[in-house]
Amino acid sequence: MTNPEDSGDSPLSAFVLCVVPAWCAFMSVYLLIGAVAGMASVLWGAVLAEPWRAQGILTCRGCQSRRGWLQAIFSWSPSCGSCGRRFTAWPLLGGTVGAVLFAGFAWLVIELGCQDVSEVRPSIPHWQGRVPFHLLLLFFLLTAIVTDLIDYVIPEQITNTGTLIAVALATLSGDLQLIHVWVDWSDELVRIYGPGLPQWMKDHQHLHGLVWSVCGLMTGGGLTWVTRAAANRILGFPAIGFGDVTLMAMIGAWIGWQPVLCVLAVGPLAGILTGTLIYVVTGRSYLAFGPPLCVGTMIVLCCWRAIWEEQGLRIIFCHPPTLAGLIGGAYLLFCILLYGVRVFRGTSAQQLRR
């Protein structure tokens, strides 16, 4: 057998010839899966939103004639055979976004370890467990974004299906959590023995999977419902839809109660970014609450290690009084902001000019 050094090949060239093709093939799989998932999310969203609005994806806006799924996927944006009006290119856009998102997320998790924290050591590789689990979540999030952009609605078929799948997979695996349902960093000997974990979590792995998923579901849905109730009462109209409540319940079931709190905190920043992008692309000045929540979830998934370890949030999450104070303070500030919006809406333009 020829030695690479004898044949003039350097170790770097041997690495490039052996590893790079395998890595490219591995990532190409995620690009393909993402493209299919992105197009499927657009088509499923179009079917769910059709009772409210014909959006030019499967149904023509001119003559209301309908085309098939395969025609929507492979013909991209053809003209209607009956009236000549062009269909939208949403399937192509969804496939492109899905491919980039899935491949980028898999690269961040597998290659950069963006979700690796010291407390959680999965027994199976990320690419076999957590990556497929969260890619399925990204599919549901993309579908929710599509329906919310079409007609400002998130159907229960998306959130209820996603919630049931999340709880079932979390329970069956018991090894998919971003962080355990409880981790104690407050002990004086934590630097010697590590963070404290309840013994029942170690003895009953599948039960722990059920508990952290259900706790995330209740936290995400419960806090959003309380926020919705306050907004509706203070402003006098439904500023936050019930679909956003079920969406956050679904997200919590996939990621747990600590990450879902981070999603709620990141939501306003994600809203600014998403609103600006949607305004530039579509010209819409009104933004539904669903897309920022979905984008905030993606940010938390891709930055979990930085949020949990580098920002030191794990110290806050193991101290209930501090955590309760932060949540209560944020809720109070939110209510004050709503009152300010109510006063501003009730002030005439002439009064504002004075």
The mean pLDDT value of the chain amounts to: 82
Give Cα separations from 37 to 18, 103, 312 (angstroms).
30, 12, 35
Q: What is the per-residue DSSP string for 284-314?
A: -----SHHHHHHHHHHHHHTHHIIIIIT-HH
Instruction: Classify residue 73 as exposed, middle or buried by CB count within 10 Å of its CB (0-12, 13-18, 19+).
Output: middle
In this structure, the chain runs to a length of 354
Q: 300 near 262, Cβ under 8 Å?
A: yes
Report yes or no: 151 and 44 within 8 Å, Cβ to Cβ.
no
Q: Which residue has the tokens 């059709």?
A: 50
Reference 224, options 161, 159, 289; nearest CA is 289
Q: 287: Cβ–Cβ under 8 A, 6 or more apart, which residues?
A: 271, 274, 275, 278
How close are the terminal C-alpha atoms of the chain, in Å?
89
Q: Which amino acid appears at position 85 of this protein?
A: R
Check: CB of residue 149 under 8 Å from CB of residue 91.
no
Helix (H, G, I), strand (E, B) or coil at 79: strand
Q: How confident is the model at residue 95 (pLDDT cuts 50, 70, 90)?
A: very high
Mean pLDDT within 257-272 = 86
- 210: which residues sit within 8 A by CB, 6+ positions away? 167, 170, 171
Please answer whether residues 148 and 274 qualify as being in contact, where contact means their C-beta atoms are separated by less than 8 angstroms: no
pLDDT score for 4: 44
Under 8 Å between Cβ of 102 and 135 = yes
> What is the Cα–Cα distance from 344 to 351, expressed in whole angstroms?
10
- Residue 2: the pLDDT is 44
Q: Tell me: pLDDT of 299 over 90.
A: yes
This prediction's pTM: 0.86
Nearest Cα to Cα of residue 335 among 235, 225, 223:
235
Contact 98, 142 (CB under 8 A): yes
Provide the residue ranges of all domains of the chain, joining segments of one domain with +. 11-112, 153-342
Structure tokens at 292: 């920022």
Digit-coded pLDDT (tens) for 45-93: 888 887 666 666 777 766 767 776 666 666 655 777 677 677 777 888 8
Determine phi and psi for 309, rounding to 5 degrees: -95, -55
Q: What is the pLDDT of residue 352?
A: 43
Q: What angle do CA 250, 224, 324 make, to 5 degrees?
A: 110
> 101, exposed or middle or buried, with CB in 10 Å at 0-12, 13-18, 19+?
buried
For residue 7, the 8-state DSSP code is T
What would the two tokens of residue 173 be? 């695996």
pLDDT, one tens digit per residue, over 19-51 is: 556 667 778 899 999 999 999 999 898 888 876
pLDDT above 90 covers a percentage of the chain that reads 40
Gap between the Cα atoms of 140 and 249, Å rounded: 13
Q: How far apart are CA 210 and CA 201, in angstroms?
A: 11
CB 128 within 8 A of CB 26: no
